[in-house]
Amino acid sequence: MPVWRPPTEKEDSPWPGRLVEKIPLENGLMVEIWDYSRRQAGDRWLVGMLAQVKVPVSPEDFPDQDSYKDFLELQGPWAYFRLYKERTFIDQEAREEIFRGLMEHFRRHCLDYLAHPEFASRFLAREIEEFLRRRHWELASSEEEEDDEEWKDRPI
C-alpha cells in the first residue's frame, strides 16, 4: 500500500484526502493537518492524520550549487516534515472522534517542537545531509554498474 501524501503539482494522492486545518507557528512556518481516512472493509475505517510542515530550501543551505540543483529537481523548493498517525479497523461511528483525538494529541505534544526557533534549520541540516548521502550512494552505485558493464563481455 503506498504512503499517502497530499497532491502536488508533480503527483496525485493515492486516494482522496482533505486539508482540515492550517496552524501558523511562531517561527513563521505553517502546519497543515490532513485527513486521509478511508474505508477498509464494510463499516471499518483506516483513520489517518498527516501533519505536514513545508520548510523552504535555499542555495545557502547546500555545500554547492550542483547539490542544490539536484535537490530542486527531485524534491522541489521544499523539504517536508511529515508526521503520520493512524488507527486501523475503526467503526464508522467512531471515526470522527478518533480523528479529533489524533489531532488533539498532536497539538498537545508536537506543536512546541515544531514552533521552536531552530526547528527549520536543524530539520534542513538533517534532510540535506540525508539527501547528500543518498546522492553519493546513487552516484557510487551507478559507477559500479558502469564498471560491471565494461567487464561483462571480457573472457574469463
The DSSP line for 53-73 is EEEE--GGGSSSHHHHHHHHH
Q: Please check the confidence at residue 15 and state whether its pLDDT lies above 90.
A: no
Domain boundaries, the chain: 18-147
Closest CA to 34 of 18, 47, 22: 18
3-state secondary structure of 86: strand
CA separation, residue 69 to residues 6, 14, 76, 127, 155 (Å): 24, 28, 9, 15, 41
Closest CA to 4 of 52, 75, 44: 52
Cell digits of residue 37: 481516512
Closest CA to 53 of 14, 76, 25: 25
> What end-to-end distance do the CA atoms of the chain give, in Å?
44
Tens digits of residue pLDDT in 89-130: 999 999 999 999 999 999 999 999 999 999 999 999 999 999
Global pTM? 0.83
Q: Please check the confidence at residue 1 and state whether its pLDDT lies above 60.
A: no
Average pLDDT over residues 30-49: 96
% pLDDT > 90, the chain:
76
The DSSP line for 14-55 is SS--EEEEEEE-TTS-EEEEEE--EEEETTEEEEEEEEEEEE
Cell digits of residue 29: 512556518
| Band of residue 141 on the pLDDT scale cut at 50, 70, 90 | confident
| Band of residue 82 on the pLDDT scale cut at 50, 70, 90 | very high
pLDDT of residue 140: 85
Residue type, 114: L
Q: Please check the confidence at residue 31 and state whether its pLDDT lies above 70.
A: yes
